């Protein structure tokens, strides 16, 4: 049985998706938030999951907060720490402490659009597809090894809200899958730091957006 601690800052919808997945061999040991008013804490407590607050405002700086957060996490002896809408940048020391067992989900197809405002930037760039990425966390922001990605189309009438909703639905699918693979010991790091899924079934298909149309007479 692998122990998992999930970090949130708000509602924690990705946390909810992982809890609802009821992954065999996994136990959600705790949900930890840097905000005492995070809605996700109520969700966790209602399901008997320890809900812990480490309020970042109570600390003089990042190092002190990171140390207190790590102490709270380590009290549950986790095999995996999952960032699920945790809106604090973590210092290098914290990240290295959990190297190889710290996952994050980012609302873009990394390495495209790291950082904030991903949906606005995708729309401004005019991309045809957008998506979400689950990756291991490294000291360089949003640059860790990719575990799984989901792709969604970008429609001409999309705004940030509609695109964000389409991406979030896929986040709720791929994050529990990534956690399941970790729990099942199916994730291996290969050459160049790339993540390899053991026993992966190759896929030679492609998704083209907009879709190709049936060939017709050449106009000229």
**Residue-level pLDDT at 210:** 78
CATH number, domain 104-199: 3.40.50.170
- Which of 88, 85, 82, 102 has its CA nearest to residue 56? 88
- Which of 136, 140, 91 has its CA nearest to residue 114? 140
Q: What is the pLDDT of residues 55-104, one digit of tens each?
A: 999 999 999 999 999 999 999 999 999 999 999 999 999 999 999 999 99
CB 106 within 8 A of CB 143: no
pTM of the model: 0.94
For CATH 3.40.50.170, the residue range(s) in the chain are: 1-98, 104-199
Domain covering 1-98: architecture = 3-Layer(aba) Sandwich (3.40)
Distances (CA, A) of 161 to 108, 117, 165: 14, 11, 6
* Active-site annotation holds for 135: no
**Catalytic residue among 20, 56, 106, 135, which?**
106
Q: What is the pLDDT of residues 47-67, one digit of tens each?
A: 999 999 999 999 999 999 999
Q: Kindly report which listed range (59-68, 106-115, 194-203) carries the lowest average pLDDT score.
A: 194-203
DSSP label at residue 141: T
**Residue-level pLDDT at 118:** 98
Taking all residues of the chain, what is their mean pLDDT, rounded to a whole number? 94
DSSP 27-92: EEEEEEES-TT-HHHHHHHHTT--EEE--GGGSSSHHHHHHHHHHHHHTT--SEEEESS--SPPPH
**Residue-level pLDDT at 55:** 98
Residues making up the chain, counted from first to last: 220
DSSP label at residue 102: E
Q: What share of the chain is helix, strand, coil (3-state, %, to 5)?
A: 35, 20, 45
Phi, psi of 159 (to 5 degrees): -120, 180
Reading the block at residue 109, the tokens are 């197809």
* Beta-carbon-side half-sphere exposure of residue 98 (alpha carbons within 13 Å): 27
């Amino acid at each position: 049985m692998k122990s998992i601690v999930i970090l949130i800052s708000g509602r924690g919808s990705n946390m909810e998706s992982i809890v609802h997945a009821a992954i065999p061999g996994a136990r959600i040991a705790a949900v930890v938030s840097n905000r005492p008013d995070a809605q996700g804490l109520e969700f966790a407590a209602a399901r008997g999951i320890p809900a812990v607050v480490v309020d970042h405002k109570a600390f003089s700086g990042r190092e002190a907060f990171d140390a207190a957060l790590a102490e709270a996490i380590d009290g549950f002896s986790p095999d995996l720490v999952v960032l699920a809408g945790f809106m604090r940048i973590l210092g290098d020391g914290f990240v290295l402490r959990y190297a190889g067992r710290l996952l994050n989900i980012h609302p873009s197809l990394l390495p495209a659009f790291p950082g904030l405002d991903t949906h606005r930037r995708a729309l401004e760039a005019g991309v045809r597809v957008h998506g979400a990425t689950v990756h291991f966390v490294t000291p360089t922001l949003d640059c860790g090894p990719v575990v799984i990605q989901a792709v969604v189309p970008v429609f001409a009438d999309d705004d940030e809200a509609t695109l964000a909703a389409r991406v979030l639905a896929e986040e709720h699918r791929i994050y529990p899958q990534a956690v399941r693979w970790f729990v099942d010991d199916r994730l291996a790091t290969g050459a160049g730091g790339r993540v390899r899924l053991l026993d992966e079934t190759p896929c030679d298909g492609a998704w083209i957006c907009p879709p190709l149309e049936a060939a017709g007479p050449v106009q000229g």
